[in-house]
Amino acid sequence: MIFSEFPIFEAEDAILAHTTSGDGWTLKKGRCLSKDDCLLLAEAGIQQVRAAKLEDGDVREDDAAKAVAEGVSGEQVSSTAAHTGRCNLTADVDGVVRIEVDTVNRLNAIDESITVATLPDFARVAAGQTIATIKIIPFAVEESTLAVIIQAVSEGSSPITVAPFQPLSVILINTTLPALKDSVVEKTTVLTKRRLEVLGGVTNEVLTCRHAESDVADSIREAAQRHPGLIIVVGASVTVDRLDVVPAGIVKAGGEIEHFGMPVDPGNLMLLARCDGIPVLVLPGCARSPKLNGIDWVLERFASRLPITRDVISGLGVGGLLVDSPVRPMPRDQAVREMADVRSEYSIAAVILAAGQSRRMGQVNKLLEPINDIPLIRHTVETVLASKAESVVVVTGHHASDVEKALYGLNVLFAYNPDFDDGLSTSLGAGLAAVPGSCDGAIVCLGDMPGIQPGHVDALIELFDPEAGRSIGVPVHLGKRGNPIVWARHFFDVMTDVSGDVGARHLIGANADLVYEVEFEDTAVLTDLDTPEQWARFRETEAV
């Protein structure tokens, strides 16, 4: 590949290195320049362009990315279409991602032009979630370099796979003491069942016994006779020694202790045992909390049929300090509600931003421009009202009365932003503040996206599940991210702190492990109408 500055009339068929714009036109990075493109650039007074020309033996970036993606993909993994040299790998099923770390590191060391980035080994993933991305750095790579990568992959097993969650039958044993409230036991039972349900597990039976060695032994024997896949014990008092009440009861029942303790905090006081060939898991005290703890990691491995041994547990220390972060089974502000009332679905509100000044439209407010005789903002709001959004908040500011008049009769909440001229961030804050407290999150919609349909909104809402690590929902078309975006409630505070004419997109990069992408075939999620030229093109193409 030749990368250089080319005289404009020698640039035909070259790949443009940087996006170039002029009066009413834009040629994007990566575009293969045509003869007409070169004439357009010349008429704009551009004499040279920095670009790349492919040579014999070069493989285009998209072809190379797809080849590497297919090479590293293993069981329960699919690759998306390649775009701009990037190809993503997604999980086919809910499960635990397995990464052969040494193999991926070896691939990344072969040549700087080809990169493979993945989630951490053993990360819990949901079907459709992006688990890895292959990015080709230049516009093309040498065929010989690509061959070395493919050969390295073919020498062993596929380095990126997903171990799917499989049905897991569980018997839960609660021990009790007079000082332990029944409500605590009940809430812990609900929470434990919920932890198992999101992994495909089923609690077949719940047994209760006194927190005494003989009673624990009787319950362990009774549970083992039913042959579940796993026995879980929640002690009224936390186990602090191998000779404590619960482990002593397990031994008395004929079981053996395999390992006590875990280098994960919270979760240190976990105990693993076995009775009649059935694994017995004694939960630490932190399991009464919905926050992420080491027991979640252990349950994920049980559910995906990955081995849980002394060596495995001992190897969890690096990364085992679990700070209080959004990466946990349930957001903090939801925890109390979830402990008391577990729900099968999440409630998502919609926040529609309609306060802007439409500066690029001149004197016209774009939101009041008609589409089939209906103002654009009414078209947008009616679309969202037809979706699964629980409630709809419309943020007004510029021409507030006219916007409200355009929405007359619709079942929406209005949030007026008096600081609308200070930028998008103020409207975002006003809208989030108006979201009903019963909602678990919000889908933030722009008022000027005419192609958005209820199905776009529904698809984003349906995959939302913070417990499964899906807290930020982003629509994608051919590798490019668009709008609207779903946000879990625990992001609201930091989103409200944003200032200026920017949204909260920086939080997507900062919380990549919590992002789920939804791929759409149409361009609606990328199309907004900001200028008279865009309106003209839209009306021509849509024939409205």
Q: Which residues pair with 473 in a beta bridge?
A: 486, 516
Lowest mean pLDDT among 156-165, 300-309, 326-335, 363-372: 326-335
Backbone angles phi, psi at 400, to 5 degrees: -60, -45
Query: Does the structure show a pLDDT above 50 at 275?
Result: yes
**Candidate ranges 103-112, 354-363, 424-433; pick with highest mean pLDDT:** 103-112
Residue 363 is predicted with a pLDDT of: 72
Residues 409 and 465 in one domain: yes
Q: Number of structural domains, the chain? A: 4
518: which 2 tokens? 């939804």
Residues 173 and 157 in one domain: no
Lowest mean pLDDT among 360-364, 469-473, 524-528: 360-364
Nearest to 123 by CA among 253, 344, 296: 296
Secondary structure tally for the chain: helices H, strands E: 17, 30
Model confidence at 502, in pLDDT bands (50, 70, 90)? low
Average confidence (pLDDT) over 373-396? 92
Residue 494 is predicted with a pLDDT of: 86
SS3 326: coil
Residues 410 and 289 in one domain: no
**CB 443 within 8 Å of CB 389:** yes
Whole-number Å distance between alpha carbons of 15 and 84:
12
Query: Does the structure show a pLDDT above 60 at 126?
Result: yes
The side-by-side arrangement of strands in the sheet containing 124-125 is 124-125, 95-99, 160-164
Residue 344 is predicted with a pLDDT of: 38
Nearest to 156 by CA among 98, 103, 116: 103
Residue 366 is predicted with a pLDDT of: 85
Task: Identify the DSSP state of 525.
Answer: G
342: which 2 tokens? 């577990």
Q: Identify the burial level of 207 via C-beta atoms within 10 angstroms of its C-beta, where 0-12 means exposed, 13-18 middle and 19 or more buried.
A: middle
Whole-number Å distance between alpha carbons of 412 and 407:
8
Residues 13 and 83 in one domain: no
pTM score, whole prediction: 0.59
Domain that holds residue 381: 348-542
Query: Does the structure show a pLDDT above 80 at 499?
Result: no
Query: Does the structure show a pLDDT above 70 at 544?
Result: no
Query: Does the structure show a pLDDT above 70 at 64?
Result: yes
Q: Identify the burial level of 497 via C-beta atoms within 10 angstroms of its C-beta, where 0-12 means exposed, 13-18 middle and 19 or more buried.
A: exposed
330: which 2 tokens? 């349930």
Model confidence at 511, in pLDDT bands (50, 70, 90)? confident
- Asked whether residue 343 is domain-assigned, the answer is no
Nearest to 259 by CA among 276, 277, 238, 280: 280
Whole-number Å distance between alpha carbons of 428 and 438:
19
Average confidence (pLDDT) over 377-400? 92
Residues 104 and 176 in one domain: no
Residue 501 is predicted with a pLDDT of: 54
Residues 407 and 362 in one domain: yes
Q: Token pair 């009306």 is at which residue?
A: 539
Whole-number Å distance between alpha carbons of 54 and 141:
9
Query: Does the structure show a pLDDT above 80 at 150?
Result: yes
Residues 394 and 460 in one domain: yes
- Amino acid sitting at position 308: I
**CB 127 within 8 Å of CB 93:** yes
Nearest to 279 by CA among 316, 305, 315, 261: 305
- List all residues 6 or more positions away from 85 whose beta carbon is below 8 Å from its beta carbon: 30, 61, 62, 64, 65, 135, 136, 137, 139
- List all residues 6 or more positions away from 195 whose beta carbon is below 8 Å from its beta carbon: 295, 296, 299, 329
* Domain stops at, among 110, 132, 164: 164
Task: For residue range 314-355, list pLDDT tens digits in order.
Answer: 999 998 888 644 433 333 334 434 433 433 368 899 999 998
Question: The CATH number of the domain where 40 resides is what?
Answer: 3.90.105.10
- Asked whether residue 342 is domain-assigned, the answer is no
- Asked whether residue 187 is domain-assigned, the answer is yes
Residue 469 is predicted with a pLDDT of: 78
Task: For residue range 34-55, list pLDDT tens digits in order.
Answer: 999 999 999 999 999 998 898 8
Task: Identify the DSSP state of 208.
Answer: E
**If you average pLDDT over every residue of the chain, what do you get?**
88
Model confidence at 500, in pLDDT bands (50, 70, 90)? low
